Amino acid sequence: GESVGLHLPTLSVQEGDNSIINCAYSNSASDYFIWYKQESGKGPQFIIDIRSNMDKRQGQRVTVLLNKTVKHLSLQIAATQPGDSAVYFCAEKSGGNKLTFGTGTQLKVEL
């Protein structure tokens, strides 16, 4: 079940398809961004990060895109697998060191 009971946006994808999860951030001074994955009953787990001087960064099966002009961040997951089912949060850092989290997106992978 969902680890966060908010009315979360939900993205349903077929196994093997690519997933794109979007996030709009609020602070134009934010200089560091992170994507976290949270499975039910667990704490947020780091996926990938990007600094504001970059617009794209790739990891293993994941890519983060940053568009500072419109303050938009996206996470792309290639060949989505059942184990990718979770809530995904984007987070931003500005000035100090606290992370401000978005409300999350529930990703459901259908077999």
Partner 1 sequence: DSGVTQTPKHLITATGQRVTLRCSPRSGDLSVYWYQQSLDQGLQFLIQYYNGEERAKGNILERFSAQQFPDLHSELNLSSLELGDSALYFCASTGSLATNEKLFFGSGTQLSVL
Q: Which residues bind partner 1 (CB under 8 A)?
A: 3-6, 31-32, 34, 36, 41-46, 49, 51, 89, 93, 96-104
Q: How far is the CB of 38 from partner 1 (least distance, A)?
A: 9
Gap between the Cα atoms of 106 and 94, Å rounded: 25
Question: Which residue lies nearer to partner 1 by CB, 44 or 109?
Answer: 44
Cα of 21 vs its chain's centroid, Å:
6
Q: How far is the CB of 88 from partner 1 (least distance, A)?
A: 12
From the list 44, 25, 47, the residue with the least C-alpha distance to 93 is 25
CA-based angle 9:45:4, to the nearest 5?
35
Question: Which residue lies nearer to partner 1 by CB, 43 or 83?
Answer: 43
Specify the residue for token string 């976290």: 36
Q: How far is the CB of 85 from partner 1 (least distance, A)?
A: 18
